[in-house]
Structure 1
Amino acid sequence: MPDNCPTPETDPVKCSNETGESSQVICEICAETKEASQMFRNQRCHHSFCSDCVTKQVAIKIQDGITVVSCPGLDCKSVLELDACRPWIPKDLLERWDQALCEALFLAAPKYYCPFKDCSAMLLIENEEREDHQAIREAECPVCHRLFCAKCDVPWHPGVNCEEFQGMDENERKREDLIVIELAKEQKWKRCPNCRFFVEKTEGCVHIVCRCHYEFCYRCGGQWTSTHGDCEPN
């Protein structure tokens, strides 16, 4: 074999025999005789095809919405890589392939949406190793710059943890209600277990009769009974 001819370990290049004639290779797909310079060799499996057949294979897959382009070799499990195919296929097809790969990655990435209805920006999770994006709680939308809770998928609920918020009724989750709840915690008000109304004790014993006539202990929050004695606050 002449020294300037390609070996299986090198990329195919145009070579000449002793008479100066260029070497020719038969494409495994179209069975046409091609110049060595027209041949593409897949480094993953070493199948070799002409640039026309490689271009057709990529074009068909991209048209069908398939971004992982399989090697056209018979029963071959390898794939064609975009960078390896770059010198062999047209620029417009490369751009379509590259765009399709980006879109596939974008669609597969974990994401959620800003909970503010006048924004609703789609947000991607930067660290895909997180098993649960809801481990992130307080977050800021990079578009509208408002705070929200990624665990509850709602605007940020200050002073109320996620477990408590998720246990609330829908009509208790408004911002003004959350402000009252935060204030109640600061003032150490108690909530009637029956009607959920906040009660503030300024003086007297811990026996509370709510406006709904439910009786409870201001110290522990439990129902008041005739045998109710010393108790620990809950």
Structure 2
Amino acid sequence: MIKAPCHQYCEDCFERLISTACENEQQWPPKCCLNKIPDETITHIIRGALLEKWRNRGWEWGLPINERIYCSEPACSIWCRPHNIDRDQSIVRCDAGHRTCIYCRGADHGRETCPQDRELARTHELAEEEGWKQCYGCNAYVEHHEACQHMTCRCGAEFCYVCGARWRTCHCTMEQLATVKAEADRRREHRRQL
């Protein structure tokens, strides 16, 4: 017999109690007469797949619901573990390998920006105001300080600061560069006056 906080259970009934709690978050954590069954009791008795399921549910349901991400693939829909999040790509992979956007919780957008990524949207707005340009190779923002419109990004990509095209594929001039920089200065000054 297995002693829980209020009652004793045979092994089959105890496993059924744990299994039921693992199927329904409303019944989590496993309880005996509304008293949580100690983790030590559970880990001492259950084994194999049920123990693994109990541990996974504890990790999953231990997170606030707004921090949980589930696979966007309808046929999958499993919980994506936080250690599978790739913040650089703004995605998480489920255990089956499907990719889900961490912002909108939909399917991965590929190289497109998620429309719900507010921080990235604010960065884009600031870049627009400041006149920064985005590298075609790695999407990093760069700021022009001096010299001509030829930019070499830290990733090695070379491009025109005026139009963003690959270097030597456009006909932009130093005058156009001066105009781009003057417009950025005007926007910056306007923002300071607000």
Q: TM-score, normalised by structure 1?
A: 0.34
Q: Which has the higher contact order (CA 8 A, sep 6+)?
A: 2
Give the number of the structure whose residues are more often helix, by fraction. 2
Q: Rg bigger for which structure?
A: 1
